[in-house]
Structure 1
């Protein structure tokens, strides 16, 4: 696999919050004792499962950021009290840290009032025609304050468009012409290749401004392995070149010595020629 990347930097200057931290801090923490945060429902299919891990693993392996971030797969997004959560297949939130104490219920899902902000990106991977990705979820993610709503439809259940990226405006989402997410200095791209032994024509990948994909840990290892093998081959070639040059010099010396011997036998001092 020949892949290259320059991991994008997400700086604090490019970070745009959905609402001010002060507003979140003033909100009382709702009672979530009766809230169901784990419904024990499996992911839809193998495409969704592998796609989710590809996006999360590559983010944690290759995102080069000066601020903390959180990328989750199939985790509940609670954005309003007494409203059911949204469960994006993948979501990314900047300037937050994953809670350490998972024994507390409030730390096992994404409660916006605890994190102090909404996630920047929510990605839905379409696996059937009943998920409302092009319907009610527009309003839901808008109400949740998500900056970018992404619909990935690899099998084209909903439309001929495999990938759609919507950016939040004042009161609606607007479909972008490209897949660059300016507010987070990060992009999305469709990629054909192999992930965990499975070749697929249309993986969804993170990318930088130049279109270089963010590599998973395995891909970075393989790339480093290829670089090491290339360096080893280069060193071997250089060694062979040096050996050839040494042999050439030795042959030349032997030829010169032989010629000098012939001249001496003829009474000619080769050093005087």
Structure 2
């Protein structure tokens, strides 16, 4: 149980150039593709405003009792930044440089329990940092091997509560006005489980390769209709 008065002071300070950032390894070969695909479908669907920022293994920092804390989630969505992107080339400081991330995702690592750590002492655990320091509204933990997605929402008591998925197995992210869920299939010749977006009407936000295939099929149907009407589409 967290104490009623936190034994720490949080400040939002510019990240120093001399600070050495952690160089965490990628645990699964699909992780970089998964993270890139999450951003790609948002951008292609026009769901990524110019002032928004998505990050992949990129530091999000705060100052805790005078000490810098940096966590680099596997993927995060920041709705609005208030500075030039060149100012956040190494690390992003919420409140100082823009808004708190609306969604943070961690892909389940080989370090057992790291994503669930509520360690309060310096350096704090990931869950404690996202919940109590940053107060990120939605925190997801995705097991890329089994396709299991857990989604935690910050409640009125400022504590995370495990959410239940809807009938389609998806989670509503109100800050983004989108559903997040698990999709099984192939991307760039890599089969597996992927995190995907659906809009409010249940339409899947497509990747670039899917949009190209959609256009190819549309062109083929049009060509067939022209041929049926006695017109050679090649002429």
Q: Distance in 2 between matches of 1:28 and 1:41?
A: 24
Give the secondary structure class of the aligned counterpart of 1:193. strand
When you count helix as a share of all residues, which structure comes out higher?
1
Aligned length: 205
Give the 3-state SS of the residue equivalent to 1:35 in structure 2: coil
Instruction: Tell me what 1:32 maps to.
Output: 16
Alpha-carbon separation, structure 2, partners of 1:184 and 1:141:
18
TM-score normalized by the length of structure 1: 0.67
Partner residue, 2:137: 147
Range that drifts further, 109-118 or 164-173 = 109-118
CA distance in 2, matches of 1:217, 1:99: 27
1:93-148, Cα deviation, whole Å (9 max, x unpaired): 112378343xx5x4332221432321100001113242521233221101112110
RMSD of Structure 2 on Structure 1 (CA): 2.5
- Cα distance in 1 for partners of 2:226, 2:85 equals 47
Structure with more relative contact order (C-alpha pairs < 8 Å, separation 6 or more) = 1
Q: Distance in 2 between matches of 1:61 and 1:73?
A: 18
Whether 1:196 aligns to 2:179 is: no
Aligned to 1:175: 162
Q: Secondary structure at the match of 2:228?
A: helix
- Whole-angstrom distance in 2 between the partners of 1:132 and 1:40: 16
- Distance in 2 of aligned mates of 1:28 and 1:174: 26
Q: What is the alpha-carbon distance in structure 1 between the residues aligned to residue 225 and residue 216 of structure 2? A: 14
- Going from structure 1 to structure 2, the CA distance change for 1:77 and 1:65 (only over 3 Å counts) comes to closer
Contact 2:14 2:93 in 1 (8 A): no
Measured in 2, the distance between the counterparts of 1:114 and 1:67 equals: 18
Divergent runs of 4+, >6 A? none
1:99–1:107 CA contact under 8 A, matched in 2: no
Residues 76, 86 of structure 1: 8 Å contact kept: yes
2:58 match: secondary structure: coil
Q: Distance in 2 between matches of 1:34 and 1:224?
A: 49
| 1:267 counterpart residue number | none
Structure 2 contact 80–98 (Cα < 8 Å) conserved: no
Unaligned runs of 5+ in 2: 1-10, 119-125, 166-170
Alignment partner of 1:139: what SS? helix
Indicate conservation of the 8 Å contact 2:15/2:91, yes or no. no
